[in-house]
Amino acid sequence: MNIQDVEPEPLLTRVAEKLKPEMDPPEWAGYVKTGVHKERPPVQEDWWWIRGASVLRKIYLKGPLGTERLASEYGGKVDRGSKPYRAGKGSRSIIRHLLQQLTELGYLEKSRRGRIITGKGKTLLEGCAEEVAHGGG
């Protein structure tokens, strides 16, 4: 089952459920903003695991990625008052910690051009995609 055949939101929710027992967020995760374009921390209780699932999915789809490119992927527009908006990057610290945790769990591995997904990571994503496609979400 290809993960592009299913909707991302139920897939990420399913992958986050599988990652929850394996990953622990750092103690600062409840207080930190997710990028310079945000004004407040996330309100969702399980945002750490959903972001981890999202990072795993992005690396699966877009090939070797590092923290800088992923920070651009999770960025947004910065409100600069009366001046025009500009692009702002997401938090590289959050991405770096997630990449380290996913690498320790064996879902990602380092390469010269960033992180790449391993067979274990592909199996997790494709298995969850299968469950979402046949289970209805």
For 87-103, write each residue's pLDDT tens digit: 999 999 999 999 999 99
Number of H helices, E strands in the chain: 5, 4
pLDDT at 137 over 60: no
For 2-59, write each residue's pLDDT tens digit: 899 999 999 999 999 999 999 999 999 989 999 999 999 999 999 999 999 999 999 9
pLDDT at 85 over 70: yes
Over the Cα atoms of the chain, what is R_g?
15
Q: How confident is the model at residue 136 (pLDDT cuts 50, 70, 90)?
A: low
| CATH number of the domain bearing residue 80 | 1.10.10.10
Range of the domain at 62: 3-135
Burial of 13 (C-beta count, 10 Å sphere; 0-12/13-18/19+): middle
For 51-83, write each residue's pLDDT tens digit: 999 999 999 999 899 999 999 999 999 999 999
Measured CA to CA, the distance from residue 9 to residue 91 in angstroms comes to 21
Residue 123: per-residue pLDDT: 95
Residue 135: per-residue pLDDT: 80
Tell me how many domains the chain contains.
1
Per-residue pLDDT, averaged over 120-135, amounts to 93
Residue 63: per-residue pLDDT: 86
pLDDT at 121 over 90: yes
